[in-house]
Structure 1
Amino acid sequence: MFNDDINTIFINNEQTIINTINAHSYIVAKSDNVFKNALLESDILLPDGEGIVLMARALMGEKIKKIAGADIHSYLLKEANDKTLKCFYLGASESTLKLIKNKLSKNHTNITFGFYSPPFKDVFSESDNRDMLNKVNEFAPDILFMGMTAPKQEKWVHNHKDQINSKIICSIGAVFDFIAETKKRAPEWVINLKLEWLYRSFTAWRLTKRYIYSTPLFLIEVYKLKYFKKQPND
Structure 2
Amino acid sequence: MDGSQPLEFRTARRTTERIHILGGDIDLVRPEEVMHHIGRFIGAGKKAIIANHNSHSLYLLKTRPELASFFAKADLVEMDSTPVIFFARLLGMPSRTFHRCSYVDFRPLFWTMVGAKQYRVFYIGGAPGVVETASERLMAKYPGAVIGGRDGYFDATPGSAGNAEALAQIAAFKPDILFVGMGMPRQELWIEANLEALPNCVIMPVGAAFDYEADVQVAPPPWMSDAGLVWAFRLAQEPRRMFTRYCLEPWALLPLAFKDIRAAIARRREPLRITTSA
* Alignment TM-score, normalising by the size of structure 1: 0.88
Provide, for residues 43-64 of structure 1, a one-character-per-residue CA deviation record: whole Å limited to 9, x for no partner: 1110111233134324452224
Residue of structure 2 in register with 1:92 after alignment? 126
Which residue does the alignment assign to 2:68? Answer: 36
Q: Does 1:165 align with 2:207?
A: no
Partner of residue 217 from structure 1, selected from 230, 252, 256? 252
How far did 1:3 drift?
Answer: 4.0
Task: Give the C-alpha shift of residue 72 in structure 1.
Answer: 4.3
Deviates more, 1:164-173 or 1:117-126: 117-126
Summarize deviations over 1:76-128 as a string: whole Å, max 9, x none: 32222111121111011112122212211211221222111132668566222
1:189 corresponds to which of 223, 228, 232 = 223
Q: How does 1:36-75 map to 2 (within 5 A)?
A: 36-64=68-96, 65-75=99-109
CA contact (8 A) 2:83 2:228 kept: no
Aligned to 1:77: 111
1:198 partner SS: helix
Per the alignment, residue 208 of structure 1 pairs with: 243
Q: Distance in 2 between matches of 1:36 and 1:128?
A: 26
Any gaps of 5 or more consecutive residues in structure 2?
Answer: 1-32, 265-278
Contact 2:35–2:110, Cα closer than 8 Å, also in 1: no
Larger deviation: 2-11 or 184-193? 2-11
Once the two structures are superposed, residues 24-72 of structure 1 have per-residue CA deviations (whole angstroms, 9 ceiling, x without a partner) of 1101111212212212321111011123313432445222421112234
Q: Tell me which stretches of 4 or more aligned residues in structure 1 moved more than 6 Å.
A: none
Greater RCO structure (CA 8 Å; 6+ sep):
1
Q: Is the 8 A contact 1:90 1:147 kept in 2?
A: yes
Q: Evaluate the alpha carbon distance shift between residue 7 and residue 195 of structure 1 in structure 2; reply closer, same or farther with a 3 A threshold.
A: same
Could you say which residue in structure 2 is the equivalent of 1:141?
Answer: 175
In structure 2, give the amino acid aligned to 1:36. A
3-state SS of paired residue (2:144): coil
Report if aligned partners of 1:143, 1:166 keep a CA contact under 8 Å in 2: no
- Secondary structure of the residue aligned to 2:237 is coil
One-letter amino acid matched to 1:40: A
8 A Cα contact 2:124 2:149, kept in partner? yes
**Does the C-alpha gap of structure 1 residues 30 and 122 become closer, same or farther in structure 2, counting only changes over 3 Å?**
farther
Structure possessing the higher radius of gyration over alpha carbons: 2
* 8 Å CA contact retained: 1:202, 1:208: no
Structural mapping, 1:4-19, within 5 Å:
4-19=36-51
Contact 1:119 1:128 in 2 (8 A): no
Structure 1 position 177 matched with structure 2 position 187:
no
TM-score for both structures, normalised by structure 2: 0.75
- Partner deviation per Cα, 1:170-225 (whole Å, 9 max, x = no partner): 11002221111111111122222221111111111211221112122224421222
Match of 2:162 in 1: 128
Q: Which runs of 5+ in 1 are unaligned?
A: 230-234
The code of the aligned residue for 2:178 comes to L
Decide whether aligned partners of structure 1 residues 126 and 152 sit closer, same or farther in structure 2, where only a CA change above 3 A counts: same
Give the aligned partner of residue 274 of structure 2. none
Aligned pair in 2 of structure 1 residues 72, 169: CA closer, same or farther (>3 Å)? farther
- For 2:253, what is the secondary structure of its paired residue? helix
* RMSD (Å), alpha carbons: 2.1
Q: Give the length in aligned residue pairs.
A: 229
Q: CA deviation at 1:148?
A: 0.4
Distance 1:177 1:117 in 2: 11
